[in-house]
Amino acid sequence: MKKTGKIDSSGNSMLLRASAKRLFESLMEQTADRIYIKDKKSRFIAASQALAEMHGYKNRHELEGLTDFDLFTHEHAQQAFDDEREILRTKKSIINKIEKETWHNRETTWVSSTKAPLYLSSGKLAGIIGISRDVTAEKLAQQKLADSEQRLREQNKIMRSDYESAMKVQSVMIPGRVPQIKNVDIAHLWKPMNMVGGDIINFPRNPSNCLLFFMGDVCGHGVAAAFYTVLIKYLTAHSAEVYNDNPRDFLNSVNEGVTGRIQCGFITGLAGHFGARQKDGSRKLILSHAGHKQVLIYRKKEGSIELINLPNGTVMGIPGTTASQSKAFDLHIGDRFYAFTDGIIEASNLDGQEFGIRRVIRRFAELSTQPIDTTINTLYKEVTQYTQAPDQQDDITILGFELN
């Protein structure tokens, strides 16, 4: 019989079956993936060499007949067994489930596991086929990130609590005691940019029992600036104990105490006091400044506001600086005095234009028939409307007095 070199259908089928088996064997021996097949009792009937070596076996066939209960602690083995029972019951696969593997003698590992029902060619359910990929490094990185985020949340919570505590302390400390002086109305507004701020106003007690006041602005914002307001509060109270009716000496004393204690930046300040009331109801207002050069005086008789530029003086906190020469002003019944930090003047709208001193002067003049505390609060509201910004741009403090 002549050979044709052809393979009949029976031989072709046998060759394909032999090839498929060999391909499967090669796959299980050479793949780096952890592949396995289990019967319906969750016993291994085939496993990749990588899976065997991961469990400490030299030959992958050594896994055959074992279950996860032989390889892991009960915790992981029971979870895997329950998952596989559910797959066999529902005929539904589990895709990329992150599983925690617990061992008897090694650290916990994590895998991404995919398991599916395995059917024979007849369509009969035979067991489970699965593949797992080690994701321990990724899981540990995620846990580290989660731990870091949790610590950050806890730190933020603590910081928030600290902020709120600092805010409560500052709100009590600033302005603190406001004296009741006959024939002098006192108005003040203190609005920090954040929960706490670097502006301060106070009315220190002094031997003359005169109406002594201080307004200051620490360079910067937030907690760092707020800490220095505590120092300034202490220094102004200490300097006021020996007040000699000269606000320049008072500011220089505060400056001496603060210089060298501020790591960076400076403090601007304004101080003054009212003299005794005269028979006609007038009083002298004596002022000195350390960086707050401009103040306003409303003259009721003329119905106008004067912009006062005080003599030159330098900021506090820098060696060699000094406050301005003291200057006295006569105020009469109905006259008003205004001082403010730069947060009002420099508040900018969306086009970058500042509110400016001219608007402040005009509005105080237009509001002169209103109580002095109303004029201050109205001006503040108008500044916030002018900026059209959700957040305040700087600490804002306004101080006002009216003789009556």
Q: Name the band, by pLDDT with cuts 50, 70 and 90, for residue 220.
A: confident
- Using DSSP's 3-state secondary structure scheme, residue 359 falls into helix
Residue 401: Cβ within 10 Å count = 24
Asked if residue 381 is part of any domain, the answer here is yes
Q: Any residues with CB less than 8 A from the CB of 322 and at least 6 apart, and which?
A: 248, 252, 255, 290, 313, 314
| Separation of alpha carbons 251 and 400, rounded Å | 20
pLDDT number for residue 10: 55
Q: Rounded CA gap, 47 and 68, in Å?
A: 13
| Mean pLDDT (whole number) for 353-373 | 96
- 147 domain-assigned: no
Asked whether the beta carbons of 37 and 46 are under 8 A apart, the reply is yes
Structure confidence at residue 64 (pLDDT): 95
pLDDT > 90 in the chain, percent: 74
Q: Are strands 211-218 and 267-274 parallel, antiparallel or unpaired?
A: antiparallel
Residue 400 contacts residue 375 (beta carbons within 8 Å): yes
Amino acid, res. 240:
A
Is there a domain that residue 5 lies in? Answer: no
Domain containing residue 100: CATH number = 3.30.450.20
Number of H-type helices and E-type strands within the chain: 10, 15
Residue 135 host element (H or E): none
Q: Band the pLDDT of 315: cuts 50, 70, 90.
A: very high
- State the CATH number of the domain containing residue 201: 3.60.40.10
For residues 106-133, average pLDDT: 93
The answer to whether residue 253 scores a pLDDT higher than 90 is yes
Estimate the crossing angle of helix 356-366 against helix 372-387, to 10 degrees: 140
Give residue 17's pLDDT. Answer: 56
- Once rounded to an integer, what is the mean pLDDT over residues 113-127? 93
Residue 151 maps to a domain: no
Res 195: pLDDT: 82
Going by pLDDT thresholds of 50, 70 and 90, the confidence category of residue 8 is low
Q: What residues make up the domain containing 56?
A: 10-138
The count of residues in the chain is 404
- Cα(140)–Cα(151) distance, rounded to whole angstroms? 16
Examine the domain organization and report whether 320 and 172 are in the same domain: yes
**Same domain membership, residue 292 and residue 241:** yes
Mean pLDDT for 5-28 is 63
Rounded CA separation 188/260 (Å): 30
Q: How many domains does the chain have?
A: 2
- pLDDT recorded at residue 4: 47
Strand order in the sheet with 327-331: 199-202, 211-218, 267-274, 283-290, 327-331
- Read off the pLDDT of residues 65-84 as tens digits, 9 standing for 90 and up: 999 999 999 999 999 999 99
Confidence of residue 18 (pLDDT cuts 50, 70, 90): low
Q: Which two tokens stand for residue 233?
A: 């509060």
Q: What is the percentage of the chain residues whose pLDDT exceeds 70?
A: 95
Q: pLDDT per residue over 153-205, tens digit each?
A: 888 888 788 778 878 888 888 899 999 889 999 999 999 988 888 899 999 99
Q: What is the mean pLDDT of the chain?
A: 90
Same domain flag for 300 and 175: yes
pLDDT interval class at 29 (50, 70, 90): confident
Residues 332 and 204 in one domain: yes
My answer on whether 133 and 167 are in the same domain is no
The pLDDT score that the predictor gives to residue 14 is 57
Same structural domain, 337 and 396: yes
44 against 11, higher pLDDT: 44
Encode pLDDT of 324-347 as tens digits: 999 999 999 999 999 999 999 999
Mark residue 260 as left, alpha or beta (left: phi above 0; alpha: psi -120 to 50; beta: remaining): left
The pLDDT score that the predictor gives to residue 3 is 45
